Amino acid sequence: MSAAEAKTIDPQQRLALEMSYAACHHAGRAKQSLLGSDTGVFVGQCNNDWAKFSKERAANPYTGPGTHASISSNRISYSLGLRGASASVDTACSSSLVALDIACQKLGLGMLAALMTGVQLNLIAEPFVAFSKARMLAPDGRCKTFDASANGYVRGEGCGSALLQIAATAEDMAGPLPAIASTSTNQDGRSSTLTAPNGPAQQDAIRKALSIAELLGSQINLVECHGTGTALGDPIETGALKAVLASGRSMPVQLATVKTNIGHLEGAAGVAGKVPPNVHFAKLNPTIDLEDFAAEIPTTAQPLQGLSSFGFGGTNAHVICKRTAKVAAKRRVAFLFTGQGSQRIGMGQDLYASEESFRCALDVCAELLDPLLEKPLLDVLFKAENRELLDLTKYSQPAIFSVEYALSEMWKAMGIEPCAVLGHSVGEYAAAVAAGVLELEDAARLVAERGRLIAELCESNVGGMTACCLPYRDVLKVLSGLSEDERKQVSVAAVNGPKMTVISGRKDLVKQVVESTGAGNKELNVSHAFHSPLMAPMLESFRKEVASAKLSAPKVRFLSTVTGKEESDAFTNPDYWVRHVSQAVRFADGMAALEGVTQEAPEAYLEVGPEPTLVKMGKRCASGPASSKEWPWLHSIEPGQGEGNTVASALSQLQGALAALQYKRQPFPWRDAGPRLLRKRSEGPNEVLFDCPVRGDIFQVSAEHVVYNEIVIPGVVFVEMAMEAARAHLGPEAQLRDIQMVWPFVVPKDGDTDSKQMMMRLAIIGNKRFELRSQGPGDDAWTVHCEGRVEASGGGSKAAASIDPELTIEACAKRCPEQVDPAKLYPLVDSTGLWLGPKFQVCHDMCRNPDEISCRMQLNSDVPNQGYIIHPSLFDGTIHAVCATMFDQDPPFLKIFAGVGKVMVVTNEAPKDQAVILHLRIDEKTDQQQIFTCQVFSEAGTLLWRLEDVIFRKVLPEQIQKALAATKAKDAVSFFETKWKELPEVDADSSLLPSKDSHPSCCQSFPRPPGHSARS
């Protein structure tokens, strides 16, 4: 498909297509063998988040098919050329098992094969909010099926696919997947409620499946339950299982659910079913009745036999599986991590472009190492001009470590886990991470410091290294003939094979020893005499670095090349890693120890490094089965060969030819559900444009902000839109500066409701400044409402450093002794001509002194807060809290938000349903304006955002009315009707409310004094 189509369509369609292709490949069916065949496609999918997410986006030719669930199955049929029935199934949580049931029925009627897929991606927040309000989700985010602490389900994501066909022979049934004996589906029909589970209907579904499979309930010993962890559902399901399976049992039935491991995949729940350990089971839920029912909760993995899924609308499904012939276990693979000298410019560059797991791991290393290196890690690795840098010890060691860590993570992502690890020299650090001895952060730091200390403290070009074709013992004899002082300056650096020994030390002494042996030799191109006494100057400094690292016992076999044998506790001693710098690398002994334990010996060796060095040396060390020509000695990268091809070749030998499927992925990322207020993005000359229809969220968030009877979009909404655009275009560290409010935006009324006729546009110009513009129907020009500057950095985590210690929670509380009643604040604001509805009334628990204000702000519970950087109501509360200084003014004047010098948002995690704490300091105060600084914290004291040089300017009634009249002079449209409704008289503090003849009011949800009416 084209890039434009890939960007438009539901990611669930892309994922279902990919997994369906992988299922065919896994089944040994080439794409061509299925082309034009009577193969059906049945997809279980109940999530339509993408359609909701795309509703406000500009449509294109791919939008229609890209957002319909029916196309998920049809796209697979189209892409693979399959001519059988093609259907998407939505029965909520039972969707994928119902799809499986339909597929099995079609196979029974003669269909050649069937692809069954279940898919679920959770892309927007609204379903989480809805299910949370319905109290369906576990508050702690943990699924605790059958446990006494079970308190709700956890939403999960995933996709699974299988190619189904009739098994003609027992050989056809051999493999890692179970065979399906029977399937059944039914419906609750008329039951207690539409969404409540129905035990008798569940019993019927299970009995029907057993009948088709010609089995008794007592013959089922393992069931993957629907088991979502809800207080209502779990007892009903276990009751149904008890009614069907309890009678005549000779052994307990195991009741488990994968949901405790990966959550509830809803539409894909059935296809995810297997019987893993229940990871959150401690004590049986007391409401579950297991009396006279021999049942257990498995805490170890078990093979699947029965599988249930129940849709929350009452559609139930149950599947009976048969055990299949065992397949060979995975090969035991030893990872060999290459040492220094293997580095070269561009190592790993192909994999960085094509393998996401490799790229992500290398990016993490770069993030950790860049602060410790003078040049960025990726530049050192990939830029040709840094070729000489890469040979410097302070760069080569971190570079090799990073590439090897990324390779190790890539192999693990492909399913290749090491049974043992061994590292040569600096390669032992990547091996230590793979074995769990070192945390990545500590390992990266130690490697960087190791290289730096060698470069700075050990004299370069004084020492040398030479490889000799001579046994280790013969070299020792020659060394024993040297004087005591000479032996302190030269030694054996590595034993790489039966007749391969490396000598390291002072250059003249190395040359003397080599010439004394008379053996063939090769001088190595090195800057220092590694693994020799010449490393002594850096050892004590390095010891201090190692002392702060967390060292743990290895989780897999770890062969030490310092001792030449398998070690465990030795790796947890900091002294080991100090000795590792100067002592010999006993590679040959390590390989012998690795091969020597017969029952745990590797069945393949895989070099995890930039070139095949250790596999060549390892072959010379091998004496048992590994010495045969057929033995798999594999490597990850070979210079001059395509890195992807090398990986694919190794993978095929490790897992068999079917595992060699490699994707040439092209990412089409999207960070989240998009900015809350912005919509269509486009590019103009030197501009990035975001179009924003006034209807929808902009209108909804502004509807209770009324100035002299007119709904006026608050300036804080303009700032929120600018911040969303800046972050979408420049990244999460973007910040705004020098913002000015230019012209008010009055939402017009009493006109056509066609939302397309009123548009706002946020323009980022030259990556330096922004303008917020609007254009009404028939207008040729755009009106500018707000403008300012944008910067790509300074916000996010960097803004945390700007915290003002004078505006912290504790400091402000001490300086603001005077309590302010928030109930008086909003009537006071109302008396100036600005009416703020309940959505904007967020200030509580206020206190002040003449120049400072502190208060707690919280949104009303019915105000949605998802997707905003700073919710406009909280932002507006930040501004209008300063009105607490106006109580002494008589009469109070309307003051408006005129601009702000700097907006810095520290965290993306805007508080959801939580209070925030505002501290505001007035820096400048005149009759005409106030300029203040404020900081907003979470209740835990975390700085959320900071505003500097906020301008709050006085305007006379005639000034604001004139501006509003000028804004209304042109024809415009409306998104609401005006209706009048008489309200009952209420008691109110008349001293704080406007007089009867001042400005009319405009929202029935706010109480008015006698004689006033309201507009809804």
User: Sign of the C-alpha dihedral, residues 124, 128, 131, 137?
Assistant: positive
Three-state DSSP class for residue 317:
strand
Confidence (pLDDT) at 1009: 29
Confidence (pLDDT) at 176: 57
Both tokens assigned to 995: 């007089």
- State how beta strands 315-322 and 179-187 pair: antiparallel
Q: Confidence band (pLDDT; 50, 70, 90) for 611?
A: very high
Burial class from Cβ neighbours inside 10 Å (0-12, 13-18, 19+) for residue 905 reads buried
Q: Cite the DSSP H helix spans in 530-606.
A: 539-547, 574-582, 587-596
| R_g over Cα of the chain | 35
Region of 702 (left: φ > 0; alpha: ψ -120 to 50; beta: rest) is alpha
| DSSP conformational letter for 138 | -
- Percentage of the chain beyond pLDDT 70 is 85
pTM higher than the cut 0.85: no
* Angle, helix 574-582 to helix 539-547, in steps of 10 degrees: 150
pLDDT tens digit sequence for 927-961: 888 899 999 988 878 888 889 999 988 888 777 77
267 touches 235 (CB < 8 A): no
Active site residues: 705, 876
Mean pLDDT check: name the lowest of 196-200, 504-508, 593-597. Answer: 593-597
Whether pLDDT at 979 is above 60: no
Q: Which helix (H) or strand (E) holds 679?
A: none
pLDDT tens digit sequence for 751-792: 444 444 677 899 999 888 999 998 877 777 888 999 999 998
Q: Where are the domains of the chain?
A: 1-121+157-165, 173-327, 333-458+529-660, 461-526, 676-977
DSSP 214-260: T--GGG--EEE------TTHHHHHHHHHHHHH-TT-SSPEEEE-THH
Mean pLDDT check: name the lowest of 307-316, 715-724, 803-812, 966-975. Answer: 966-975
Q: Which of 966, 888, 957, 958 is nearest to 925 (CA)?
A: 888
pLDDT tens digit sequence for 585-603: 999 999 999 887 656 788 8
Q: Confidence band (pLDDT; 50, 70, 90) for 329?
A: low
In angstroms, the CA 504 to CA 508 distance is 11
- 173-327 is classed CATH 1.10.8.50: no
Q: Confidence band (pLDDT; 50, 70, 90) for 973?
A: very low
Output the average pLDDT for the chain.
84
Angle (nearest 5°) at CA 484 between 483 and 490: 85
90 touches 46 (CB < 8 A): yes
Exposure on the CB side of residue 632, measured as CA atoms within 13 A: 21
Specify the higher pLDDT residue, 914 or 943.
943
Q: Mean pLDDT, to the nearest integer, of 469-497?
A: 92
If you search the block for the tokens 């576990």, which residue do you land on? 138
pLDDT tens digit sequence for 534-577: 999 999 999 999 999 999 999 999 999 999 999 999 999 999 99
In angstroms, the CA 699 to CA 711 distance is 9
Q: What is the CATH number of domain 1-121+157-165?
A: 3.40.47.10
3-state SS, one letter per residue, for 504-521:
EEEHHHHHHHHHHHCCCE
Whether pLDDT at 992 is above 50: no
Confidence (pLDDT) at 609: 95
Confidence (pLDDT) at 996: 37
In angstroms, the CA 668 to CA 665 distance is 10
In angstroms, the CA 221 to CA 179 distance is 16
In angstroms, the CA 869 to CA 904 distance is 11
Residues 6 or more apart in contact with residue 768 via CB below 8 angstroms:
789, 790
1005 touches 840 (CB < 8 A): no
Please give the C-alpha separations between residue 795 and each of 687, 721, 737, 898, in angstroms, as whole numbers: 22, 16, 11, 22
Domains 173-327 and 676-977 share a fold: no
In angstroms, the CA 262 to CA 224 distance is 14
Please give the C-alpha separations between residue 183 and each of 89, 109, 217, in angstroms, as whole numbers: 16, 15, 15
- Which range scores top for mean pLDDT: 414-428, 650-664, 671-685, 783-797? 414-428
Region of 103 (left: φ > 0; alpha: ψ -120 to 50; beta: rest) is alpha
Both tokens assigned to 985: 């008289």
pLDDT tens digit sequence for 121-133: 998 878 888 888 8
934 touches 802 (CB < 8 A): no
pLDDT tens digit sequence for 38-85: 999 999 999 988 887 776 555 678 888 988 999 999 999 999 999 999
Mean pLDDT check: name the lowest of 21-30, 443-452, 720-729. Answer: 21-30
Burial 720-749 (b: 16+ CB within 10 A, else e): bbbbbbbbbbbebbbbbbebebbebbbbbb
Confidence (pLDDT) at 896: 85
Q: Mean pLDDT, to the nearest integer, of 159-184?
A: 77
Whether pLDDT at 913 is above 70: no
Specify the higher pLDDT residue, 627 or 473.
473
Residues 6 or more apart in contact with residue 238 via CB below 8 angstroms:
146, 225, 255, 288, 289, 290, 293, 295
- Under CATH, which architecture does the 461-526 domain have? 2-Layer Sandwich (3.30)
| DSSP conformational letter for 341 | T
Specify the higher pLDDT residue, 581 or 33.
581
Please give the C-alpha separations between residue 695 and each of 368, 477, 566, 713, in angstroms, as whole numbers: 45, 89, 69, 12
Three-state DSSP class for residue 888:
coil
In angstroms, the CA 275 to CA 255 distance is 8
Confidence (pLDDT) at 669: 65
Peptide bond into 675 cis (omega under 30): no
Q: Confidence band (pLDDT; 50, 70, 90) for 635?
A: very high
3-state SS, one letter per residue, for 916-955:
EEEEEEEEEECCCEEEEEEEEEECCCCEEEEEEEEEEEEC
Confidence (pLDDT) at 657: 41
pLDDT tens digit sequence for 224-275: 899 888 888 889 999 999 999 998 888 888 888 888 889 999 999 988 876 4
Exposure on the CB side of residue 926, measured as CA atoms within 13 A: 6
Q: Could you say which of 3.30.1360.70, 3.40.50.620, 2.160.10.10, 3.40.366.10 is the CATH number of the domain covering 333-458+529-660?
A: 3.40.366.10
pLDDT tens digit sequence for 511-534: 999 988 888 889 988 889 999 999
256 touches 275 (CB < 8 A): yes
Confidence (pLDDT) at 1000: 33
Report the residue count for the chain.
Answer: 1016
CATH class of 676-977: alpha beta
